[in-house]
Amino acid sequence: MTADPAPQPSGLINSFSVALAALAAGASGMLAAQHLAGLSLPGCGPTSACAQLSASFWGNIVGWPVSYLGLTYFLALTAGFLFAGSRPIPRSALALIGLGGLTSLGFLGIMAAEQKWCLYCLAAHICNLTLAGLCVISRREPHTSLWWPAWIGTAVVSTIALAMVDAQTMARISGEQRALTEQSIEEILQQLPAEVASSDSPPADGGFTGRYHRGPEQAAVRLVVFHDYQCKDCAKLDAELEELLTEQPRLSVSIRHYPMCSQCNPNIAWEFFHKEACNAAYLAEAAGRLGGEEAFWKTHRWLFEHKGVFTPEELTAFCQTAGLDAGQLRELAAQPAIQQIVKVDIAEAISLGATGTPFVFLNGVEVQGTSSNPENARLAIERVLAENPPARAAAWDRRPPKAHDRLLTEWQRADPVDLPPTEAARYVFGNPEGTNRLLLFLEPTDRDAASLWQNALSVAQSRDDVRLELYLFPIHSQINPAYAGLKTEFYPRSAMISKLVEALRAAESESLPSAISWCLQASSDLSEDNLITHAAEANGIDAEKLRTLYEQPETAAGITSDLSQAEITDVSWAPALIVHGRSAPTAAAGTDLIQRMLDTPADE
């Protein structure tokens, strides 16, 4: 006597299964493409939940982004269902799909716990859960089919293809970084002295070094590193330097601070970024003050081991092993004198054109290409040592060139971007027929917005060949789709000020540049209604007329138009300045730097 066969799935259910797997593959594929090609996805800006989840512990499994694994899995499911057709799938395949559903539940739980919701992740996981439920309900009968061969074949091919594309992407980035390092090495070698006479004396502007040193005082290679204790690349470089110091007796290393934290670094606007980096730097300096070089380096290594984040209990335990008093250390780290030391380092780094960490100098020359490739630092050190340069003190190392020179070089090396058509610009200043287009994408409440706008406008008004185009780029979930997933607004008044600028334009203010400047400097204490009233009064416009323009749909539509132009140029954060089709490396560009970029053709 045989059991009744399980009900066979209908063609509709099979088609639905294929569609769910394909939709999940599409969502995962978009995230994978963002990682591989730098694709800018709506709702996945640099501060979005997508970006934060991707950078978290859960964003990678065995070194591979989760999006890669998801894409491979869902492509294989799609192929399996297509080849199986209307026939039942094996029980082992049902078990795999059930396990996939449980995995999706786990990731959804992580997103709920973190309160970070990625729309593409949600789409993939919801499709996967629906698919798992559908399969468990409708496909119970074991059956020999092409499901497993199709699944395994597609998974293998997808994995190999992704691995090859990822390797090519990483090789391209590594090659670009290596080329920058090679250029730095050539510059260093050109400055090496053939020999040193005993009568020679250090230059008057020498002495570029840090406060704490490893290695000999007289060294052939002298490295200065500006770092951040919450920077992963800094930690990798520090580990590399530990090895080099044991291998190369002619190497010295000194450390300075550049915490990427808005608490102490005026160049950092994001309050969420590296929140403890300043406190970690203060702690290291306090340890050096209490216990000298040995205590500093112990604390330095401990902070990197803890990624700059620690509990009071962990700090107390460390101090007991390091011979430091935890109470004294905390008290000293909070002193203005200690914090000022770190701020002096930050000011020095900014003056040299720092845009990130690690920021590395060898014998007074910046070693570019080491930010994500610490092995490039090894390359530079070993290549210079191979030339057998004389051992010297840091007094011989001149202070590196000012920021403008570095930033100009960085701008010249930037990849060109596509520009929107000239007729798409709604805010045009300077000479509308100017041959040099200057594009400013503006987040109106960023702290650099007002100064960058004034500097760009000043340049445009002082030259006949410059056409300045202003595009509004509010970083706000209510008006910018790229930031629709923000749980916390980084610029709470951004949508309000953007709409006000647009309303003043529609009101045909007598002096639109002055009206824009007023908006960028408006008091943050003003309510929405008071803001409109004050803006109307300051710009000679009827308040009710301005309020009506502020609320009308055309105002939001104008901002949406500007945001669409940002997609063409691949702008994902603002303020952003584009000169000669290349992005300026800093939003703090002054008039001198803007003038130099306009007068300097970018490298082809």
Q: pLDDT tens, 438-460?
A: 999 999 998 789 989 999 999 99
User: Which tokens is 71 given?
Assistant: 């894409």
Query: Phi, psi (5° rounding) for residue 42?
Result: -55, 130
Q: How many CA atoms lie within 13 Å of 283's alpha carbon, on the beta-carbon side? A: 27
Dihedral in degrees, nearest 10, Cα atoms 442, 446, 452, 453: 50
Query: Is the peptide bond preceding residue 358 cis, with omega within 30 degrees of 0?
Result: yes
pLDDT tens for 432-443 read 999 999 999 999
CA 100: distance to chain centroid? 31
Q: Where are the alpha helices (DSSP H) in 352-481?
A: 375-386, 403-413, 449-462
Question: CA 280, 286, 287 angle in degrees (round to 5)?
Answer: 90
Least confident of 28-42, 383-397, 581-595: 28-42
**pLDDT of residue 72 exceeding 80:** yes
Question: Whole-angstrom Cα distance, residue 227 to residue 224?
Answer: 10
Write the pLDDT tens digit of every residue in 189-224. 888 776 555 556 777 767 888 889 999 999 999 999
The model's pTM is 0.61
Q: What is the band of 321 on the pLDDT scale with cuts at 50, 70, 90?
A: very high
Q: What is the pLDDT of residue 447?
A: 78
3-state secondary structure labels for all residues of 196-250: CCCCCCCCCCCCCCCCEEECCCCECEEEEEEECCCCHHHHHHHHHHHHHHHHCCC
- Residues 101 and 129: beta-carbon distance below 8 Å: yes
The residue type at 58: W
Q: Contact at 8 Å (CB) between 263 and 280?
A: no
pLDDT of residue 36: 67
Q: What is the pLDDT of residue 143?
A: 52
User: Residue 320: exposed, middle, or buried by beta-carbon count in 10 A (0-12, 13-18, 19+)?
Assistant: exposed
Of 39-53, 152-166, 529-543, which range is least confident? 39-53
Q: Is the peptide bond before 575 cis (omega within 30 degrees of 0)?
A: yes
Nearest to 52 by CA among 125, 114, 123: 114
DSSP 409: H
b/e 32-71 (16+ beta carbons within 10 angstroms → b): bebebeeebbbbbbbbbbbbbbbeeeeeeeeeebbbbbbb
pLDDT at 34: 72
Query: What is the C-alpha separation between 45 and 39, in angstroms, rounded?
Result: 10
* 3-state secondary structure (DSSP) of residue 330: helix
Q: Mean pLDDT score of the chain, rounded to an integer?
A: 84
Using pLDDT thresholds of 50, 70 and 90, give the confidence band for residue 6.
very low
pLDDT at 142 over 50: no
pLDDT above 60 (res 35): yes
Comparing 95-104, 143-152, 288-297, 454-463, the range with the smallest average pLDDT is 143-152
Structural domains for the chain: 11-167 (1.20.1440.130), 208-400 (3.40.30.10), 411-599 (3.40.30.10)
Q: What is the pLDDT of residue 31?
A: 79
For 359, the 3-state DSSP assignment is strand
Residues β-bridged to residue 466: 436
Mention every residue, 6+ apart, whose C-beta is less than 8 A from residue 147. Answer: 80, 81, 83, 84, 89, 90, 93
**Token reading at 390:** 């004389």
The string of pLDDT tens digits covering residues 465-518 is 999 999 999 999 889 988 876 667 878 899 999 999 999 999 887 789 999 999
The pLDDT tens digits for 228-273 are 999 989 999 999 999 999 999 999 999 999 999 988 988 887 776 8
Decide: helix, strand or coil at residue 529: helix
Helix (H) or strand (E) holding 264: none
